[in-house]
Amino acid sequence: MTSAAWLEPTPTAVLVLADGTVIEGFGIGARGEAVAEVCFNTAMTGYEEILTDPSYAGQIVTFTFPHIGNVGVNDEDIETVNMAADTAVRGVVLKDEVTDPSNWRAARHFNDWLAARGIIGITGVDTRALTVLIREKGMPNAVIAHNPDGVFDLPALKAKAAAWSGLVGLDLAKVVTAGQSYGWTEKTWTLDAGYTTQDAPKYKVVAIDFGVKRNILRLLADQGCDVVVLPANATADEVFAHNPDGVFLSNGPGDPAATGEYSVATIKAVIEAGIPTFGICLGHQMMGLAVGGTTMKMHQGHHGANHPVKDFTTGKVEITSMNHGFAVDPASLPDNVEQTHVSLFDSSNCGLRLKDKPAFSVQYHPEASPGPQDSHYLFTRFVNLIREKKGEAKVAERV
């Protein structure tokens, strides 16, 4: 055996931060390089749903849980609706090497899946140390690069990371939104029947797509909604043309202030028309802007499936899934708007309600089921606003 056999393996991937920090590891998934913002996610499960959530556009996800990818992937857990948003996330950072899948639902190896989607990955990283760095210094801009030969132009990668302007001022909803309108009838999965179809809807709901997730649309269908999805730049006239009973504002990526330049006018018109309106994630931030509030960039953001949120309307605490780097400033909200939900981690705003209009929103993802169904009542709350306007009896919220 030669002395070379005792050498450490050559790194085949690097994560280069904007401050010049170089983190070496071993590449998986797609080859090449991508510039993005680095965040950390504390979820222990659901990595496929996370990496197909369009809200992660422009970001590199660092998983704090070490065993990511080991149960493979399948076609049922994908959250992306729009094919253009399939590669929204730019990269993934892992601690441990990905083993062969060991789950009966697995249809593909995680590494092959990443490569097919153009997502660059790096393993062998001290993700706890990286998480501490993000907590102390904020979410850094960075370049993730994968080259099986292990050859990297580090000065060029450092310059690229330092030169990227970041997510502030960046409208990414226009990148991940649907190119045209479409209808949605698929309901949530059940053990006996799988995914079924809503074939007897009672209420017409227009969903404005800023980067919508499949399970949000499924839960609307579960509530008896006939859902039509419109692109992020839909005008008020285009919304009104469907004569909706309610309007839903979806999740999505990027700076809400940038997306708001074209969407706020539509949302204002919808709210002023008295149409019941419900927003989630970026949709919550859009509603905040539409009612006169402001948004702000967060230091480290909220990304995970273990975030406690208190609902002041019920007095209960929900365990929620979150994915956002911007937040509504509660101090900026006018007198006709009340804060309904708050994070018990940092007291940041997680929900609002208009006192004089049938409109409300939440910052977190009630469809993601980390509790597992602590927050599904919000979909009932939305449809109850529709029922109330129609003069129908409300349905009890299950909380």
Given 281, 284, 302, 341, the catalytic residue: 281
Q: Which helix (H) or strand (E) holds 112?
A: helix 110-117
Q: Which residue has the tokens 């994968």?
A: 146
Q: Which two tokens stand for residue 202?
A: 């009672």
Q: What is the DSSP letter of 34?
A: E
Q: Do 340 and 318 contact (CB within 8 A), yes or no? A: no
Q: Could you give the CA distance from residue 362 to residue 318 in angstroms, rounded to a whole number?
A: 12
- 341 included as an active-site residue: no
Q: Do 73 and 106 contact (CB within 8 A), yes or no? A: yes
- 350 included as an active-site residue: no
Q: Could you give the CA distance from residue 11 to residue 122 in angstroms, rounded to a whole number?
A: 10
Q: Could you give the CA distance from residue 308 to residue 289 in angstroms, rounded to a whole number?
A: 24
Give the residue from 209, 212, 184 showing the smallest Cα distance to 198: 184
Q: Could you give the CA distance from residue 121 to residue 93 in angstroms, rounded to a whole number?
A: 6
Given 302, 341, 365, 376, the catalytic residue: 365
Burial of 228 by CB count in 10 Å (0-12 exposed, 13-18 middle, 19+ buried)?
Answer: middle
- 39 included as an active-site residue: no
Task: Name the residues annotated as catalytic.
Answer: 281, 365, 367
